[in-house]
Structure 1
Amino acid sequence: MKALAARRHDRRAPVVLLLLALLLVGGLYAALQPAPASAAPQAASANDVTNGEKLFAANCATCHGMGATGTNAAPSLVGVGAAAVDFQVGTGRMPLAMSGPQAQRKPVVFTPEQISQLAAYVASLGPGPAIPTAEQVDASKGDPANGMAIFRTNCAMCHNAVGAGGALSQGKFAPNLWSTSNTHLYEAMLTGPQSMPVFNDANITPQEKRDIIAFIRQQGGTQPGGLSLGSLGPVTEGLWAWVVGIGLLIGAAVWIGAKSS
């Protein structure tokens, strides 16, 4: 009996139990850990960076300078990341056709492969936001209701309650979002182009960005009923009510006056 008790109280038993507990906790953590929201972005090859540098020197260095360090005509691109390049070049805003209050969307100059190469070159100059993956911008995995709440808190004051766009000060404007691709919507939130603020993952999480994209996709420029009035919200609605309402009151007053005379 004493021999059995000695085995049960071996001094090495606590160490063994601790190791077993650690293995159990580690196994449970690995089994129950949620899947990552997206795969890591594919790393650019050295050939992409080299070709991107050549494209940059031929098309962008005039304004942004060799090495993208910036000039009096355009800012430095060091540290803006691949996402900023993909948005600006992929929407045709860059190369800039002419100076003005803000760069406007126009037909894209480069092929998708060339845009990827330019993005790879700029990304190699310093760390910055990467181009989002297909999963990150998948609207089917977003919650439009939550996206609506976030959009109307952070975006509606410029882009209007349903993303139809609107005027800003000094000749600037917030564009209509209905025809913007999911990837470019995500990149705009991530990089803050033009007058738009940057919404990094601490401000709006990746899932919330996807929720916003789902909400915008759900709008799609459609009107559930009645006149859209440009989908500009209370401004046009108030103007319409004022013009029609006052017009009807004036018409009624004239008719009553005519009848009484």
Structure 2
Amino acid sequence: MRGARGRPMRRRGPGNLAVLAVALVVVGLVYAVLVPGSATGADGPQSQQIEEGRRLFAVGCSSCHGLNAEGGTNGEGHAAGPSLIGVGAAAVDFQVGTGRMPAAQPGAQVPQKPPAYSEEEIAALAAYVASLAPGPAVPPSESYDVSKVTQEEIVRGGELFRTNCTACHNFAGRGGALPHGRYAPSLMDSSPRHMYQAMLTGPQQMPVFSDAVLLPEDKRAVIAYIVALQESEDPGGLPLGRLGPVSEGLWGWLAGIGLLVLVAVWIGAKVPRTGRGRSPRGE
């Protein structure tokens, strides 16, 4: 059989059809293997956790931080909550885990309180915020585990603490006042996990001590020193700056002298006074 130009037309033999069929089968198998795997990844535990965090965020956080964590206003043009894009999972775990977020009301500083979410919900919120942009991740437990630190590490942690932290938290870790109604909280009830996250993220007025500023082993040493302060007894029986009997003796001396002065004034007020120029017999 010839074509229009007189050239013989080639017929497709069974071999070509077999090759085409095999190719279609191979493409179908590859698609069947890859596509279900991708769908499974999209519906995996991590994605489910992020979706749960998104729902929790929309209910409990979006009124201040915006529906997409871009930051929000209070309706009068003033910022109600900062953007959370790029803060990372560690910041969320610290703020929500310590009960500072969600805040009951705005103020100079949000105090610590019992957390409003469970650990699973906090992890979901952290996963959602972490999915928005890269940021500091929740540190592994070995980063702040101080169960095996040596005495030398505790001493070094004390030196680092007195150099970097006492200006706000005082040398005993009991906290202190800051300008504009703010304050550095006491560290006596802080957990090692939250202390590490605070150094890593710098919440509120605290500076960020990233790994480039303070090495992970230095952070662990500082935490070990604070834990040693938490577990130690007050030298004199009462805190009073943890100066021991010296501060307690000074306080007792001042209070005692003050009490004696008050008693002397009270006794003097009770003594009857005699008029001037009059004899004892009234003559």
Provide the TM-score with structure 1 as the length reference.
0.73
1:116 aligns with 2:123: yes
Higher mean alpha-carbon deviation, 200-209 vs 243-252, is at: 243-252
Out of 218, 234, 250, the residue aligned to residue 241 of structure 1 is 250
Out of 164, 167, 180, the residue aligned to residue 177 of structure 2 is 167
Shift of 1:241: 3.4
CA radius of gyration, larger in: 2
1:107 aligns with 2:119: no
Out of 209, 220, 225, the residue aligned to residue 199 of structure 1 is 209
Superposed, which structure 2 residues align to 1:32-71 within 5 Å? Answer: 45-71=46-72
Superposed, which structure 2 residues align to 1:1-261 within 5 Å? Answer: 45-71=46-72, 72-142=79-149, 143-220=153-230, 222-231=232-241, 241=250, 244=253
- Given that 2:235 and 2:243 are in contact with CA atoms closer than 8 Å, whether structure 1 keeps it comes out as no
Question: Which residue matches 1:31?
Answer: none
1:130–1:193 Cα change, 3 Å? same
Residue 190 of structure 1 aligns with an amino acid whose one-letter code is L
User: What count of residue pairs does the alignment treat as equivalent?
Assistant: 210
1:248–1:86 Cα change, 3 Å? same
Q: Structure 1 vs Structure 2: percent identity of aligned residues?
A: 47
In structure 2, C-alpha distance between the alignment counterparts of 1:150 and 1:201, rounded to whole Å: 14
1:240–1:221 Cα change, 3 Å? farther
Residue 131 of structure 2 aligns with an amino acid whose one-letter code is S
In structure 1, C-alpha distance between the alignment counterparts of 2:182 and 2:96, rounded to whole Å: 19
Shift of 1:229: 3.8
Q: Cα deviations across residues 205-243 of structure 1 (Å, max 9, x unaligned)?
A: 100100011101111163352144433669xx7797388
Point out where structure 2 has 5 or more consecutive residues left out of the alignment.
Answer: 1-44, 73-78, 265-283
Point out where structure 1 has 5 or more consecutive residues left out of the alignment.
Answer: 1-43, 256-261
Q: Cα deviations across residues 76-118 of structure 1 (Å, max 9, x unaligned)?
A: 0000000000000000000001111101111110010000000
4+ residue runs over 4 A deviation: 237-240, 245-252
Higher mean alpha-carbon deviation, 214-223 vs 171-180, is at: 214-223
Question: Which residue matches 2:39?
Answer: none
In structure 2, C-alpha distance between the alignment counterparts of 1:226 and 1:104, rounded to whole Å: 30
- Given that 2:157 and 2:225 are in contact with CA atoms closer than 8 Å, whether structure 1 keeps it comes out as yes
In structure 2, C-alpha distance between the alignment counterparts of 1:120 and 1:100, rounded to whole Å: 27
1:219–1:45 Cα change, 3 Å? same
Shift of 1:248: 5.6
Residue 153 of structure 1 aligns with an amino acid whose one-letter code is T
Shift of 1:171: 1.4
Question: Which residue matches 1:15?
Answer: none
Select the structure with the greater relative contact order (CA < 8 A; seq sep ≥ 6). 1
